[in-house]
């Protein structure tokens, strides 16, 4: 197995902002993702709950990014924004399937699978474990600006200038060799 050079996290290049706490019933920091969060498994977005964000937060954004994907630019698995500031938890599956529990007004943009939802972990078979960075951004405006036709890069650009806090947790996953 080839050793994987670890890429930086997506927010390593953004201005420093206060951190807050994000937890999950489905993702344990540093542990292997469960089958439900794997693309070939359940392909279901995980539960996320956050607290301790800045009082002036007007909305939230949630992303999932694989910086270790062999693309040269990582791989966006989930990009969701314009989550109302009154929402501090997304239930399991809010970003996939029937979108049960997705807050009204929240906007998905296409992930790198080309779909407007959560796309689970899918590293190449036999590749070393990839990191899946789930980030919750506290945003200083109710509407970030882009719509569902924007790319993850455009959303990231807007988050760079409108994030006032950030929390993340990282799970890992390696596909079995041979598929």
Domain limits at 34? 16-173
- 12 pLDDT band, cuts 50/70/90, is confident
Residue-wise pLDDT for 30-54, tens only, equals 999 999 999 999 999 999 999 999 9
Query: Would residue 59 count as lying in a domain?
Result: yes
Residue-wise pLDDT for 124-152, tens only, equals 998 899 999 999 999 999 999 999 999 99
pLDDT at 178 > cutoff 70: no
- Give the pLDDT of residue 179: 56
- Inter-residue contact 99 to 106 (CB < 8 Å): no
Separation in Å, CA 58 to CA 9, 40, 126: 25, 35, 42
- Give the pLDDT of residue 3: 59
Tally of domains within the chain? 1
What is the DSSP annotation of the chain?
Answer: -PPPPPPPPGGGGSPP--B-EEE-SS--TTSBPPGGGBTTTT--PPPEEEE---TT--EEEEEEEETTSTTTT-EEEEEEEEEETT--EE-TTTTSTT-TTPPTT-EE---TTS-SS---B-PPTTPPPEEEEEEEEEESSS--S--TTS-HHHHHHHHHHHEEEEEEEEEEE-PPTT-
| Higher pLDDT, residue 131 or 1 | 131
Query: Would residue 116 count as lying in a domain?
Result: yes
Confidence (pTM): 0.95
Query: Would residue 178 count as lying in a domain?
Result: no
- 163 pLDDT band, cuts 50/70/90, is very high
Q: Stretch 7-15: mean pLDDT, rounded?
A: 87
Please choose, from the candidates 171, 128, 136, the residue with its C-alpha nearest in 3D space to the C-alpha of residue 34: 171
- 119 pLDDT band, cuts 50/70/90, is very high
Query: Would residue 11 count as lying in a domain?
Result: no
Task: Kindly report the CATH number assigned to the domain that includes residue 36.
Answer: 3.90.280.10
Query: Would residue 111 count as lying in a domain?
Result: yes
Residue-wise pLDDT for 50-65, tens only, equals 999 999 999 999 999 9
| Higher pLDDT, residue 72 or 110 | 110
| Cross-strand partners of 76 | 65
Q: Do the bridges between strand 59-66 and strand 107-108 make them parallel or antiparallel, or are there none, so unpaired?
A: unpaired
């Amino acid at each position: 197995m080839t050793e994987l050079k670890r890429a930086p996290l997506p927010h390593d290049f953004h201005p420093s902002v206060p951190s807050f706490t994000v937890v999950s019933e489905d993702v344990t920091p540093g542990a292997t993702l469960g089958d439900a969060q794997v693309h070939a498994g359940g392909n279901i977005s995980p539960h996320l709950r956050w607290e301790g964000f800045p009082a002036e937060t007007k909305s939230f954004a949630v992303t999932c990014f694989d910086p270790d994907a062999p693309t040269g630019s990582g791989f966006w698995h989930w990009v969701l924004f314009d989550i109302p500031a009154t929402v501090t938890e997304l239930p399991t599956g809010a970003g996939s399937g029937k979108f049960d529990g997705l807050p009204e007004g929240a906007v998905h943009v296409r992930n790198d699978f080309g779909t407007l939802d959560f796309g689970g972990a899918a590293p190449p078979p036999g590749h070393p474990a990839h990191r899946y960075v789930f980030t919750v951004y506290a945003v200083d405006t109710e509407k970030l600006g882009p719509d569902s036709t924007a790319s993850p890069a455009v959303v990231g650009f807007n988050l760079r200038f409108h994030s006032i806090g950030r929390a993340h947790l990282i799970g890992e996953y390696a596909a079995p060799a041979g598929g």
